[in-house]
Amino acid sequence: MKNRHEPLFAIGVARRLTGLTERQIRYWETQQLVVPVRTPGNHRLYSQADIDALAWAARLRRRGYRLWDILAMQREQTPAPHVRQDSDAHFRFRRPAVAGSTGAPTGSRADRPVTQDRAKLLEEIERRRAERSDERREKDRD
């Protein structure tokens, strides 16, 4: 992805990529964990950076951190005290490699299915975009 801050994903896609519910995403938006772009029709569009921030916060919530602690860490952009700098729970979230893509998967066992689903979803989105652009080109030719 060329621009991590380009708004691309609707809330349903963000839900599938992060494993959060739409209600959680909306609530975290009110707490300003992420600030999605709004379309003229008032739909939310999330960037890859927003998705990464939501996934990072979800991991910390599963580890027992409270939301206000997560928000404070985000503001300070500091890692969790017990998390190593190279961990994927760090604020500067590193996207783990898809299991099987390089031979040795990264992250915990719990992360692998989400990562594989995320990769499949991103491939599907790119395929649909290519189809739509092909359809537009054909329509313009006519």
Using DSSP, how many helices (H) and how many strands (E) does the chain show? 5, 2
The helix or strand, by DSSP H or E, that contains position 45, with its residue range, turns out to be strand 44-45
Question: What secondary structure does DSSP assign to 47-82, as a single string?
Answer: -HHHHHHHHHHHHHHHTT--HHHHHHHHHHT---TT
Same structural domain, 13 and 82? yes
The reported pTM is 0.54
Domain count, the chain: 2
- Confidence bin at 138 (pLDDT 50/70/90): confident
Question: What secondary structure does DSSP assign to 95-114, as a single string?
Answer: PPPPTTTSSS--S-TTHHHH
Same structural domain, 40 and 64? yes
Same structural domain, 76 and 128? no
Same structural domain, 22 and 37? yes
> Average pLDDT for residues 46-69, to the nearest whole number?
91
> Average pLDDT for residues 69-73, to the nearest whole number?
89
Same structural domain, 48 and 117? no
126 vs 83, residue with greater confidence: 126
pLDDT digits (tens, 9 = 90+) for 21-56: 999 999 999 999 999 999 889 999 999 999 999 999
> Average pLDDT for residues 99-123, to the nearest whole number?
52
Same structural domain, 104 and 91? no
Same structural domain, 108 and 90? no
**What pLDDT is recorded for position 12?**
94
Same structural domain, 74 and 90? yes
**What pLDDT is recorded for position 46?**
94
Structure tokens at 34: 């992420």
